[in-house]
Chains A and B, each alone.
Chain A
C-alpha cells in the first residue's frame, strides 16, 4: 500500500501477517504489520485464536471442578494457576489453611515459576537462533516434571491444589527429589546465563529492542517481570504478602531500560531468587495436615458420618452441591509468573460459580505489543514477543 509519511516521503509498504501459525508466536497470536523493507511502520494485533470459553465452562460445575480449567490457563505453570484460584476462593470463606499446606504451596509455586521462566528464556533463545542455549535452559525442566508426575500424576497440567489445601500430601523421598531439582535448575540457569549475559551477539540482538518506559507500562497495566524490567518495583509477594512470603528472604529483581535484554535477564535472576525461596521453604516443612478441617470446605472424616448427624448432613450437602462460598463478588490475585493473575469470583450462594473472570497478566502485555514493535525490524519483533512470555491459554482463556 502506498502511503505518504509524516515527513513527506512516499513509501510503498508491504503488509504481512506474522502468525497466527508461526513458529515464533508461541501459540496462536497474530500481528498484521506494514513494512518498509524490514522495518515495521505500523502494526495491529489480533488474539482469540485459542479462546476456549473458560468462563462459560466453569459455570457448569462446582468450584472444585474449576481447577482443571485453571491448569490450562498458563499451562507452563499449572500449579500456580491452581493455587491462585484456591487463594481467591478461600479468601471468600476467610478460611484458615494449615501451615504445611501454605509452605508446600510456596515451594511448588516457586518451582513452577522457575520452570516457566526456563521455558520462556529457552524459547527466546531458540527464536534468536541460539539453539544450544535452548537445550541448556530447557533440560532442567524434566527433573521437575518427574517430581510433578510422582506428586500429582501428571507432568504438565497438575490440578494439585484444592480449595482448602492440596490434593494430597507429598510422597516419600519428595524432599530429596526437590533438593536435586533445585540443584539441577540452578546449574542449568547459571550455565545458560553464562552463555548469554555478556554475549556480544545476544546483547546486540536484545539491547534497546522492544523498549517500554515505566509510565507506558503502567498505563498499559503491565505487571510481573516485564514491569519490573522497566524499573517498577512491584511484586505482590512483597507488597501484599500472602502464604507467609514476608517471612522468606528474597529480593525483587528490577531492570533499568525495559528492553528485551532486561526482560530476559530479569527472568533468569528472578528464577535464582525463587530457588532461594524453595530452599527456605523446604527447610521449613514440618509434618502436619495439608487440608483445612473447615466443614465448609472439606468432607468430614468418614467414620464421623456414621454417628454424628451434623457430619452426615455436611457430607451430603458437600457432595451434592459442592462447596458454597457466601453470595457476593470478590477479586483476589497472586503474583503468577507473568504478573498479577487475578480471579473475580461472583458467587450466588449455590455450589455453582455464577461467574469467574480471570484477569490474565498476558493480555496487558500483548495489548501493548503492537506499539512496542513499531519502529523495529521483524526479527526484533520476534524476540520482543518471546521476552514478554505470552501464553495463549491465558491470553485468550
Chain B
C-alpha cells in the first residue's frame, strides 16, 4: 500500500502495549494516593469499577493541569464532560449536581480515570477548562444546555443542542420530558461569527445587525 513508502511517520505512530483491566486498576491504585495528598481528592463510592476522584471546585483546575502535564500520568485526552442530577437519587444528601470529567491517556493506554466536582443548586458555578482542552468548549456548552451548570470563564456559554429560545434545562429531573417549546426563528449567529473574526485578528469596520435582508424584515416586525 502507498503508505508503506512514506517514512515520515510521526511520534505517535508507535503501537502501544495492550492494557488489560487489571493494568488499569493497578495504575488507578497508584494514582489515587497522589491525588489525595496533593489536592485533597476523595474516592467516589459510586464508582465501583474504576477510579473517580472527587475534588473541590476550587482545586479542579490545578488537578486537571497536574493530570494532563505530569509526564508519569499524562492524561492528554479529555474523553467527555457531563453532569448528573441527583434529585431523585434514593437517599441522596448533599449537593444536587455533579460534573464528571472523563480522562484518558494517549501515552499510557492503561490510564483512565474520572474527576468529579459537586455543584450545589445555589452555587452552580464551576471553573471552565476550555483553555486546557479545546474540546471542553463544546462539552461544557452541552452541560450548560442540559443541566444549567455555569462554567466560569467560558468564552461562549450558549446552548449547543437545544434551540436558542429554549427556556430551562431539559435533562434536569424536574423538567417534564414532554414539555415542548416552539422556535420562532433560528439563531442568525452573526455575533458568533464576528467574535470568531475578532479572535483571528480581523477588525470589523462596519457592524450590521443582520446580514440577510429578510432577517432584517422579520426583526423589524415585517412579514
Do any CB atoms of chain A lie under 8 A from CB atoms of chain B in the complex? Answer: yes
Nearest Cβ distance between residue B10 and chain A, in whole angstroms?
Answer: 4
Are A252 and B6 interface neighbours, CB within 8 A? no
List chain A residues, Cβ under 8 A from B128.
none
Nearest Cβ distance between residue A171 and chain B, in whole angstroms?
Answer: 34
Count residues of chain B with CB under 8 A from any CB of chain A: 73
Are B171 and A367 interface neighbours, CB within 8 A? no
Does any Cβ of A come within 8 Å of B177's Cβ?
yes
Are B135 and A219 interface neighbours, CB within 8 A? yes
List chain A residues, Cβ under 8 A from B37.
none
List chain B residues, Cβ under 8 A from A187.
none
Asked, given contacts A32-B189, A47-B161, whether A329 binds B84 with beta carbons under 8 Å apart, the answer is yes
List chain B residues, Cβ under 8 A from A13.
197
Residues of A contacting B: mostly? mixed
CB-contacts of A1-59 with B (<8 A): 1-6, 10-11, 13, 15, 32-34, 41-44, 46-48, 51, 53, 55-57, 59
Residues of B contacting A: mostly? loop
A265 to B4, CA, bound (A): 13
A176 to B10, CA, bound (A): 42
Are A239 and B18 interface neighbours, CB within 8 A? yes
Asked, given contacts A41-B200, A331-B102, whether A231 binds B12 with beta carbons under 8 Å apart, the answer is yes
List chain A residues, Cβ under 8 A from B160.
47-48
Nearest Cβ distance between residue A217 and chain B, in whole angstroms?
Answer: 9
Are A42 and B202 interface neighbours, CB within 8 A? yes
List chain A residues, Cβ under 8 A from B18.
238-241, 246
- Name the contact of A367 in the complex, choosing from B6, B134, B194 (C-beta under 8 A): B134
Selected interface stretch from B28-36, B43-51, B57-65, B118-126 = B43-51
Are B109 and A1 interface neighbours, CB within 8 A? no
Are B109 and A240 interface neighbours, CB within 8 A? yes
Q: Given known contacts A3-B203, A4-B203, A256-B3, what 6 new A-B pairs fall within 8 Å (CB)?
A: A2-B205, A48-B159, A56-B170, A214-B11, A218-B76, A330-B47
Q: Top 9 A-B pairs ranked by shortest CB distance?
A: A6-B201, A221-B135, A48-B161, A232-B12, A51-B161, A4-B203, A2-B205, A231-B10, A239-B109
A/B interface sample: 9 pairs, CB < 8 A: A11-B202, A214-B11, A218-B12, A232-B10, A234-B12, A254-B13, A329-B84, A344-B102, A357-B80
